[in-house]
A and B are shown apart, each in its own frame.
Chain A
């Protein structure tokens, strides 16, 4: 017997999808509104809320920020794994290998890092090369995500048996993780301490302080509403050091979205800043234009 799926009231679906879009810029396509029900099920069970429509009513009535945060966390696409697109992660590490080998400081930003697997994958590669090639230092890696829950988990560095096995070769698992006796696998302090995590909203806040040699922002633009893609790329371009590189997800591009970034001439698959001034509202170019006209 098949269970009938209770359709979500379209007004409620709009409210929930709107909350996600307002806070994070991510859009749930109308034909994927079934995701609301599946993603929010654990929250409903935990809070004894009858169904998604009931949840939407609660959000509409009250000003329960904690509940709204939890809803957004669950609706965010947090798909990630260790060494996702392994060749790409290795290229990213290789892209900054020369300055690291020379002992120069290197700053890396993993934007929208979810629960930290991407940042830790890079950290493992760097730590292994540092030991093998006697690099004088590790890069500084910062991982950010809009989800407080994801960042809390990333800071813990603790992964389920399913998570630890996705993409992570067993030899690296043995080297960098240990079972905690509770079915979870925890990153060793030596690995965990190589990454700093903080909560950060890519569409609403300026980039974390500093300029970066390498920014990874993979599989993020795809989920953003179009106008925000340009805005995010503008911010990422402004956060790159001269000569710094941006790595997007497969199928994501800057073409037609930003004149401050172009495909890298040095490294295939990466983008680099063009040096063009910002054209974003309030950006340097607009300020300069206004100054000339006044």
Chain B
């Protein structure tokens, strides 16, 4: 079973994403900000991280940069999932090392499709 870490400060978004991911046979963990997510990655690195952009404590971009400096068992795929839907944000995320980008709002097909593209679904 593949594992996905959902990183989002919105409980509602985490709940919706968890529901979708579980129907796609993922084992899901959650974090409410980048720092918590980084700590979880150190303990058990997921196959994929679904990452919000704007969060308190540590943003998605800060998490992504910090992830690159960590020594982990493997490098998880990172899929941004955010309301930042402009081309400048998308470009910045990809240049910083994100593998894919989901623009909110999203549905099951979108998420499934992006996870297939990064090779985890």
Question: Which A residues have a C-beta under 8 Å from some C-beta of B?
Answer: 81, 86, 161-162, 165-167, 169-171, 173-174, 178-179
State which of A86, A165, A171, A178 has its C-beta within 8 Å of the C-beta of B103: A165
Q: Given the known A-B contacts A165-B103, A169-B100, are A174 and B114 also in contact in the complex, defined by CB atoms under 8 Å?
A: no
Using CB atoms, name the residue of chain A closest to B91.
A174
Main secondary structure of the interface of A (DSSP, over half): helix
Using CB atoms, name the residue of chain A closest to B117.
A169
A174 close to B94 (CB less than 8 A): yes
* Apart from A161-B103, A174-B87, 12 more pairs, CB < 8 Å: A81-B109, A162-B107, A162-B109, A165-B103, A165-B110, A165-B114, A166-B110, A169-B100, A170-B90, A174-B90, A174-B94, A179-B87
State which of B85, B86, B87, B114 has its C-beta within 8 Å of the C-beta of A161: B85
Q: How large is the interface on B (under 10, 10 to 19, 20 to 34, 35 or more residues)?
A: 10 to 19
Chain B residues with CB under 8 Å of A169's CB are 100, 117
Q: How many A-B residue pairs have CB under 8 A?
A: 36
Q: Please, how many angstroms separate the alpha-carbon atoms of A270 and B13 in the complex?
A: 43
A171 close to B94 (CB less than 8 A): yes
Nearest first, the 3 A-B pairs at minimum CB distance are A170-B101, A165-B110, A166-B113
B87 close to A166 (CB less than 8 A): no
State which of B86, B100, B105, B106 has its C-beta within 8 Å of the C-beta of A170: B100
A170 close to B94 (CB less than 8 A): yes
B51 in contact (CB, < 8 A): no
Using CB atoms, name the residue of chain A closest to B106.
A165
Chain A residues with CB under 8 Å of B110's CB are 162, 165-166
B102 in contact (CB, < 8 A): yes
Q: Please, how many angstroms separate the alpha-carbon atoms of A74 and B109 in the complex?
A: 21
Q: Please, how many angstroms separate the alpha-carbon atoms of A169 and B100 in the complex?
A: 7
Q: Given the known A-B contacts A162-B107, A167-B113, are A179 and B86 also in contact in the complex, defined by CB atoms under 8 Å?
A: yes
The B95-121 residues at the A interface (CB cut-off 8 A) are 100-103, 105-107, 109-110, 113-114, 116-117
